[in-house]
Each structure stands twice: as structure tokens, then as C-alpha cells.
Amino acid sequence: MGIKREAFLTQLADFESVCLDTALFIYHLDKIEPYYLLTTEIFDAFVDGNLQGVLSTVSVAEFVVKPFQENRIEEITNFEQLIFALSIDVVDSTFQIAKQAGKLRAEYGIKIPDALIFCTALENGCDAFITNDKNFRKLEAEGIAVVVLLDFVED
């Protein structure tokens, strides 16, 4: 499996600020192909100053569960170092984010953790939400682009 690199880079170039879903960090830190190639492009754009990243504290909580269960503390340290090295803004859930998440749950039926993560993007003025979960596509009606990594994977 390869990736549609040029198409992906063209799409990323349309954005100034993106919110990242939890899975992107798992793909990157575990080097899961072909998604690792795409996350590398995103993170390179952060390093180059072409893109700003936003991450919900809900994603932080989701990411650390398995490493804590399996006592892989080094993986949590690597996660923290990656976030800080890339100057990703880690954003707490506020009352407004929680209220908006409840509204999205009511309107679209998405799970509260997913709604909180997506609303972090909305409330922080992100141009896009990057995920690998096609279920987020229905949230594009809320006014930001939803980029699904699978769309950039070649058969």
C-alpha cells in the first residue's frame, strides 16, 4: 500500500490550523504503515511552520490508556515529547466545548469523547479535523473540513 502524497500535501496546504484525532499519534509512534507516512507529512508541516496543531486533552487521555495498562511508560514519554517538540497546542475541555459536544451528540449521535475532540477543533478556530474515522464526515456541516487519512491510501 502506498499513499497519495501529492494530493495529501495539496490538501494540507489549504489549512493553517488543524486538530488531530487520537489515532494519528498511535499510527505515528507505532510506525503503522501506510498511515505513518501521512502523519510524518503532517508533523513535518508543523516543524516547517506551515501548519499549527491542536490536540484535545480527551485525546491525551485516550492515548495513555493502553500504555498505562501495559506498563509501557516510555510510550507515554515519547508521546509527550512529540507533542512538545511539534509545539502542538493541548487544549482543555471548557464549558463551551462541553455544551457544543452535547449538541453534536444530540444532532449526530456521535460518542461524547469524539464530540469533545471535534468541538475542540471548532472552538479553537481550526480549519480542519484530521482523523481516520469516516464517521466524522457528517460533521463537516459544522463548518470545518474533515480529512480522513484512508482517502489518501492507494490500493
Is the bond preceding residue 34 a cis peptide, omega within 30 degrees? yes
> Which residues are within 8 A (CB) of 131 and not within 5 positions of it... i.e. 6 or more apart?
21, 23, 24, 146, 147, 148, 149
Whole-number pLDDT of residue 24? 97
CATH fold label, 5-91+125-152: Rossmann fold (3.40.50)
| pLDDT of amino acid 155 | 76
| Separation between Cα atoms, residue 49 and residue 26, nearest integer Å | 23
The three cell numbers of residue 58 are 480527551
Q: Which band of pLDDT confidence, cut at 50, 70 and 90, is reported for residue 86? A: very high
Confidence of residue 1 (pLDDT cuts 50, 70, 90): confident
Band (7; pLDDT cuts 50, 70, 90): very high
Give the pLDDT confidence score for residue 150 in this predicted structure. Answer: 96
Please write the tens of the pLDDT for every residue from 61-80.
Answer: 999 999 999 999 999 999 99
The domain locations on the chain are 5-91+125-152
Which pLDDT belongs to residue 118? 98
Per residue in 88-140, pLDDT (tens digit) is 999 999 999 999 999 999 999 999 999 999 999 999 999 999 999 999 999 99
Cβ density class 23-60: b for 16+ within 10 Å, e for less: bbbbbbbeeeebbbbbbebbbebbeeeebbbbbbebbb
Helix (H/G/I), strand (E/B), else coil: 80: helix
